[in-house]
Amino acid sequence: MPNDMVQNTSIFTRRESKARSYCRGMPAVFDTARGSELFDADGNRFIDFLAGCSSLNYGHNDPDLKAALIDHIASDGLAHGLDLHTGAKGAFLTAFEDHILKPRHMDHKVMFTGPTGANAVEAAMKLARKVTGRTNIIAFTNGFHGVTMGALAATGNGYHRGGAAMDKAGVTRMPFDGYAEGVDSAALLDQMLGDPSGGIDAPAAILFETVQGEGGLNAASADWVRKMQDIAHKHGALLIIDDIQAGCGRTGTFFSFEEMDVQPDIVTMAKSISGFGLPMALMLVRPQHDVFGPAEHNGTFRGNTHAFVTARAAIEKFWATDAFQRELAEKSMLLTTALSDIADLVPGAVLKGRGLMQGVDVGSGELAARICARAYEMGLVIETSGPNDEVVKILAPLTTPASLFREGFDILTQAARDVLGELKLAAE
C-alpha cells in the first residue's frame, strides 16, 4: 500500500470547481504513468483498472505511440489543423481504411467531430434528424451518451439529466435488452412504432451502446441488436451505435458489434480512438447519409493532429494483424474467471458485461463504493458503474500483462474480503 499519500492539493481546493469528482475518492496527485501503472508525486505506484474510463485501452504512454508523437512534435509537425488536409490526418485515414474499415467491409465515411464523445453523439443525432427530417430518437434505460444538451436528452442518468436544469427534447425512452423481466423490449418498440396511435413519433434513429458502460455493464444480445437494426430500417430510421466506451477492442473486437452481423448507419467513437488518451472523436457514417454541408457541424479542435499521429500508430501496432484480438479473447476469459471468484465472495453477486468490459454487481452502491475505496488504499484505481453504482467495473488497459492483472485482482479480492469482514463484524 502506498505510503505518504498526503500531497499538497490546496490549489485544487482553492481554485478548481466543485464539479471535480474522481479526485475526491482518489486524492493522490498523479504525475507519471506507464502501461497499466500510475505513479503519484511521491513515487507511489497504482495499478490502473480504470484506464481513463476506457480511454487508455493501450495503456499509458505506449512506447511506440509515444515515440511517434515525440517525433511529430520535435519535427514541428502541425498541432492544430482545423479541418485542413494534413499529412497526419491522411496517414490516420489511410491506416483506418486499410486495417479497420476495409477488412470489415465497411464503406463508412469518417467525420472528425469536436474531440469529445458527446460531440460525436450530438453530430450523430443531428445528422440522423437531417437525413430523415424527423426529430425523435429512441434511446434506452441506462444509456449514457454525454451531458451536452442534445446528447443528454438521450442519456438516462437522472443526476446528469438534472444538471441541465431544463427539459430536454427529441428523445423517447425505451427499456434496454433484458431490462424488465418478461418484457420483450424489441417487440414492444416495434409494436408502438407500428401503431398509428402508439404515440411515439416516427423516429430519426435508434441509438444505443451494445454494452452500457456507465449504465451497469448491461450487454445487449446479438439478436436484440439485429432486431434493432431491423426495426430501425422498417420504420425509416437510422441505426446509431455509440461505441465510445465499448469500441477500440474493449469487448474483444475493434467494434463492439462486429460479430453481430449488423451494419450501423452511424457509429460514434471517442475515448481510445487516439490510442494515447488524447482528445479525439469521430463519427462513421454510411456514404448515403453523409449529408452535412461543409462545416455545418463544426468545431475548432476537430483536427487534433497529435491525436491523429498516435491513433495511426495504434491502429498499425494493434490492428494490422489479428494477434492482438486473439490476446483479448484469452484475457476476457481470465477476467471472467477472476471476477467469478470475487463474485463468489459476495452473496447474490452477479457478473455483468463482456470481453474486457466486465464487472460484478454486488447488489448495493454502498458495498461497491467501500470495496473500491479499500482497493484504492491498497493501490488499485477502479470505479463503480450502474444506476445505483452497484457494479464494481474493470476497465483495465487491454495491454495489461497477466501478472499485473493478477496483482490487481488480488488487491480487489482482498478489498472485497476486508469490507465483507468489516460488515460481518458490524452486524454481529
Helices (H), 346-394: 365-377
Of residues 201-230, those binding a second copy (CB under 8 A): 201-202, 214-216
> Residue 399 is placed in which grid cell?
495491454
Nearest to 272 by CA among 56, 33, 48: 56
Phi then psi for 304, rounded to 5 degrees?
-80, 95
Helix (H) or strand (E) holding 360: strand 357-361
- Minimum CB separation from a second copy for residue 120, in Å? 10
What residues are paired with 391 via a beta bridge?
A: 361, 385
Cβ proximity to a second copy, 215 vs 252, nearer residue: 215
Given candidates 249, 252, 264, 279, which one binds a second copy under the rule CB under 8 A? 279
Q: Is 395 in the site for a second copy (CB under 8 A)?
A: no
Report, in Å, the least distance between residue 215 CB and a second copy. 6
Q: Footprint of a second copy on residues 106-135 (CB under 8 A)? A: 109-112, 114-119, 122, 125-126, 129-130, 133, 135
The one-letter amino acid code at 33 reads: A
Residues found in the chain:
428
Q: Considering the complex, state which of residue 297 and residue 331 has its C-beta at the smaller distance from a second copy.
A: 297
User: How many Å apart are CA 226 and CA 172, to the nearest integer?
Assistant: 20
Residue 94 in contact with a second copy, rule: CB under 8 A: yes
Helix 365-377, helix 402-427: angle, nearest 10: 120
One of 249, 264, 299, 359 touching a second copy (CB under 8 A)? 299
If one asks whether residue 76 binds a second copy (CB under 8 A), the answer comes out as: yes
# residues contacting a second copy (CB under 8 A) = 155
Q: Which range binds a second copy by CB under 8 A, 193-201, 334-342, 355-363, 397-405? A: 193-201
Of residues 325-384, those binding a second copy (CB under 8 A): none
Is residue 4 at the binding interface for a second copy, with CB under 8 A as the rule?
A: no
Residue at grid coordinates 515525440: 70
Q: Which residue in the set 2, 64, 103, 200 belongs to the binding site for a second copy (CB under 8 A)?
A: 200
User: According to CB under 8 A, which one of 2, 160, 222, 417 is a site residue for a second copy?
Assistant: 160
- Least CB distance from residue 360 to a second copy, whole Å? 18
- 20 is an interface residue for a second copy by CB under 8 A: yes
CA distance linking residue 257 with residue 162, whole number of Å: 31
Please give the grid coordinates belonging to residue 342: 470475487
In 3D, which of 165, 330, 143, 338 has the Cα closest to residue 243? 143
Q: Which amino acid is at 293?
A: G
Cα four-point dihedral sign 218, 223, 226, 230: negative
Which window, 189-197, 315-323, 331-339, 370-378, contacts a second copy (CB under 8 A)?
189-197
| The one segment of 156-164, 252-260, 322-330, 346-354 that binds a second copy by CB under 8 A | 156-164
